[in-house]
């Protein structure tokens, strides 16, 4: 595999959170998961805040809404980091 193609493959795998020896699998199935019924359909603001807190404390994952970041420089920095890692956001 040429170096350029290998680099593209690594980027694609990283974006899909896969190792090189794994094949991508569809993210959605036509058959809903049996666990889907256990997931809340409408998350309250308190539920989301509790989820964010647990993600930070347990896994070191920060979930921030850009609209909650008041400093323009910090907001742009976070936006650039997320865009670099996950790609551009969809327009609403």
User: How many independent structural domains does the chain possess?
Assistant: 1
The answer to the question of residue 82 being in a domain is yes
10 within 8 A of 20, measured Cβ to Cβ: yes
The answer to the question of residue 58 being in a domain is yes
Give the pLDDT of residue 90.
Answer: 83
| Cα–Cα distance list, 33 to 4, 25, 55, 80 (Å) | 38, 15, 23, 34
3 within 8 A of 11, measured Cβ to Cβ: no
| Series of mean pLDDT values for 10-residue runs along the chain (92 residues) | 68 63 57 68 85 92 91 96 90 66
The answer to the question of residue 36 being in a domain is no
Give the pLDDT of residue 48.
Answer: 87
Give the pLDDT of residue 44.
Answer: 85
Q: Which domain holds residue 71?
A: 42-86
Task: Provide the whole-model pTM.
Answer: 0.49
The answer to the question of residue 16 being in a domain is no
Residue 17, sorted as left (phi over 0), alpha (psi -120 to 50) or beta, turns out to be: left
How far apart (Å, rounded) are the C-alpha atoms in residues 50 and 91? 27
């Amino acid at each position: 595999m040429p170096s350029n193609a290998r680099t593209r493959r690594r980027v694609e795998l990283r974006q899909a959170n896969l190792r090189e020896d794994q094949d991508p699998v569809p993210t959605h199935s036509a058959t809903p998961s049996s666990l889907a019924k256990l997931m809340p359909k409408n998350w309250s603001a308190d539920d989301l805040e509790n989820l964010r807190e647990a993600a930070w404390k347990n896994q070191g994952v920060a979930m921030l809404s850009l609209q909650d970041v008041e400093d323009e420089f910090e907001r742009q920095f976070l936006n650039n980091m997320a865009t670099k890692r996950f790609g551009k956001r969809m327009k609403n």
